[in-house]
Amino acid sequence: MVVGAGIAGASAAYFLARGGAAVTVVDAGAHTASHVPSALVNPVRGQSGGVDARALAGMAFTWALVRELEGQGWPVPHGQAGVLRPVPDERARARFERNLPPDLAHRWLRPEESPEPLAPGWAHVLSLPQGGWVDGQALTGALLRASGARVVRGRAVAWTRHEVQLLDAAPCTPTPWWSAAGRWARTGPARPPPTAWARC
Report field, pTM of the whole predicted structure over 0.85: no
Q: What is the CATH number of domain 1-36+136-200?
A: 3.50.50.60
What is the maximum span of the chain, computed from C-alpha positions, in angstroms?
Answer: 61
Question: For residue range 149-194, what is the model confidence (pLDDT) as tens digits?
Answer: 988 888 888 877 777 788 877 777 665 555 555 444 444 433 333 3
Q: Find, among 200, 190, 195, 183, the residue nearest to 161 by Cα.
A: 190
**What ranges do the domains of the chain cover?**
1-36+136-200, 42-131
Could you tell me which residue, 5 or 113, shows the higher pLDDT?
A: 113
Predicted confidence at residue 178, as pLDDT, reads: 53
**Residues 166/172, Cβ–Cβ less than 8 Å:** yes
Q: Find, among 172, 176, 175, 135, the residue nearest to 154 by Cα.
A: 172
pLDDT, mean of residues 38-56? 84
- Helix segments in the chain, DSSP class H: 7-18, 55-71, 90-99, 136-147
Distance CA 169, CA 166 (A): 5
**Residues 82/128, Cβ–Cβ less than 8 Å:** yes
Distance CA 194, CA 89 (A): 54
Distance CA 10, CA 3 (A): 9
CA distances from 115 to 81, 83, 96, 110 (A): 11, 11, 20, 10
Distance CA 40, CA 150 (A): 26
pLDDT, mean of residues 116-121? 93
Backbone angles phi, psi at 133, to 5 degrees: -130, 155
